[in-house]
Amino acid sequence: MTHISHEQFAALPSSPIPARMQSCWDAQLACQDADVLSLALELELFAHLDEFARPEEVAARLGLAPANTCLFLEMLGSMGMLEQGPAHMDSPAFPSNCYRTHPEMQPYLHPASPLYLGDALQFRHKVLCRCRNQLETLLREGPPDKEDVPDEIAQQAWARAAQVQIAQEQRAVTVPVARRIAGQLADRQGWRTMLDLGGGPGLVAIALAQDLPALSGVVFDYPAVAAVAQQNIEAAGLQQRLRGVGGNLAHEDFGHGYDLIWCSSVLHFVPDTMSILKRLHAALNPGGMLLCAHAEAGGRRVLQYYLRMRMQGRQVLAEGELAKLLHEAGFSEVTTRTDVDFPVAPVTVLAARKGEDLS
């Protein structure tokens, strides 16, 4: 073995680690962040942190180890999930290491909140944790043969997700976006019929029907999922104006004569985008509006979340491509909106209007 002196070691040229290497460690640490949040949700920890509480108190309520609970809460605080007690509260009775759920996060993390997203977050965590082996298989073998219609087991899985996880995300995120965008369109009061295409639990259609008393329409999705939408429609007392319709949008009729079509994260799953866009154009009344919300490839978060889907052969169009296709499908006016919040990955909302019939 060759030994070098301290002087020789000091004289060696420095080779600083490239700053870009930090992204490798950040990627690995992100897995721990996800596990910490998942465990906190599983323990329903946020239900005990509406007000500032000491780690020892939280540990006693949940049967946890006090010292490690303190470290766990500190970690959640660093992730922005919790808020630490201010310095002026530092006293033996109310030390500054007290924590509560951050007020901006509380509506989405408390199990009793109507905007609770915990089940949806847990579901996405489990899906992403299974991603490693699936990615390797896809990388080695390529995309699987596409099936036009998910089998019965897959449809039932979608239906279960529509009942809980998708419903949570629609209620907390998608519905406010749809309401805000629709509320900014001057002709909304003239809408009489709508189609919520691939609408899952149907909460967007329900919300718009509640906002616009003259509006009626259809929530179209796979039969098992449409049944979930129908249950929600009836629970909202809107069965005289809305209905869930089951079918495969790739080749089955989803109706016509609509003033409004809402289509969110659906086109990723269709075999022929242009064919669907032309059918949507034909389904609208003259002057009708298509509100189309989809992620576009390019941003890192989109590439992260949709990598597996794209490797499976699903479509995530490049930025600006969907707007171009909408024009080619016959829409006379296409407006792009990027100022929207959607789960996990940024989404672009396109408002495409069918031209008036001048004949």
Residue 7 counted as domain residue: no
Please list, in sequence order, all residues whose beta carbon lies within 8 angstroms of the beta carbon of residue 57, skipping any fewer than 6 positions away. Answer: none
Q: Which of 4-13, 69-78, 240-249 has the lowest mean pLDDT?
A: 4-13
**Distance of alpha carbon 237 from alpha carbon 226, whole angstroms:** 16
Q: Which residues pair with 284 in a beta bridge?
A: 258
Provide the percentage of residues in the chain whose pLDDT is more than 70: 90
Please list, in sequence order, all residues whose beta carbon lies within 8 angstroms of the beta carbon of residue 322, skipping any fewer than 6 positions away. Answer: 267, 273, 292, 294, 296, 348, 350
Q: What is the pLDDT of residue 305?
A: 83
In 204-359, which ranges are E strands? 216-221, 242-246, 258-264, 284-294, 333-337, 348-353
pLDDT digits (tens, 9 = 90+) for 15-33: 667 777 888 888 888 889 9
pLDDT digits (tens, 9 = 90+) for 31-50: 899 999 999 999 999 999 99
Residue 238 counted as domain residue: yes
143 pLDDT higher than 90: no
Residue 39 counted as domain residue: yes
71 pLDDT higher than 80: yes
Residue 121 counted as domain residue: no
The more confident residue out of 297 and 145 is 297
Q: What is the pLDDT of residue 14?
A: 63
Please list, in sequence order, all residues whose beta carbon lies within 8 angstroms of the beta carbon of residue 164, skipping any fewer than 6 positions away. Answer: 119, 120, 123
The more confident residue out of 9 and 220 is 220
Token pair listed for 225: 């999922």
Residues 177 and 85 in one domain: no
Residues 60 and 35 in one domain: yes
Residues 299 and 164 in one domain: yes
94 pLDDT higher than 60: no
Q: How confident is the model at residue 154 (pLDDT cuts 50, 70, 90)?
A: confident
Residues 293 and 203 in one domain: yes
CA distance readout (Å), 23 to 20, 147, 163, 311, 349 = 6, 37, 37, 23, 30
Residue 24 counted as domain residue: no
CATH number assigned to the domain comprising residue 341: 3.40.50.150
CATH number assigned to the domain comprising residue 90: 1.10.10.10
In the sheet with 242-246, reading across from the earlier edge strand, the strands are: 242-246, 216-221, 193-197, 258-264, 284-294, 348-353, 333-337
Please list, in sequence order, all residues whose beta carbon lies within 8 angstroms of the beta carbon of residue 273, skipping any fewer than 6 positions away. Answer: 267, 315, 317, 322, 325
Q: Domain range for residue 88?
A: 29-113
The more confident residue out of 343 and 160 is 160
Q: What is the pLDDT of residue 9?
A: 63
**Greatest alpha-carbon span in the chain:** 92
Average confidence score pLDDT of the chain: 89
Residues 202 and 268 in one domain: yes
For residues 98-122, average pLDDT? 95
3-state secondary structure of 51: coil
Q: How many CB atoms lie within 10 A of CB 205?
A: 32
222 pLDDT higher than 90: yes
Residue 6 counted as domain residue: no
Residue 68 counted as domain residue: yes
Residues 189 and 336 in one domain: yes
**Beta strand 333-337 pairing with 348-353:** antiparallel
Residues 109 and 218 in one domain: no
139 pLDDT higher than 60: yes
Whole-model pTM: value is: 0.86
Residues 221 and 184 in one domain: yes
For residues 171-178, average pLDDT? 92
Q: Which of 45-49, 100-104, 204-208, 317-321 has the lowest mean pLDDT?
A: 317-321
Residue 12 counted as domain residue: no
DSSP 104-169: TTHHHHSTTSTT--HHHHHHHHHHHHTHHHHHHHHHHH-SPPP-SS--HHHHHHHHHHHHTHHHHH
Which secondary structure element, helix H or strand E, spans residue 10, and what is its range? helix 6-11
Q: How confident is the model at residue 293 (pLDDT cuts 50, 70, 90)?
A: very high
Which secondary structure element, helix H or strand E, spans residue 84, and what is its range? strand 82-84
Residues 135 and 102 in one domain: no
Token pair listed for 122: 């847990």
Residues 73 and 181 in one domain: no
Token pair listed for 169: 């995300």
Q: What is the pLDDT of residue 146?
A: 66
| C-alpha torsion angle, residues 83, 34, 178, 230 (rounded to 10) | -120
For residues 55-77, average pLDDT? 95
For residues 109-135, average pLDDT? 90
Residues 102 and 162 in one domain: no
Q: What is the pLDDT of residue 354?
A: 95
Residues 320 and 221 in one domain: yes
DSSP 53: B
Q: How many domains does the chain have?
A: 2
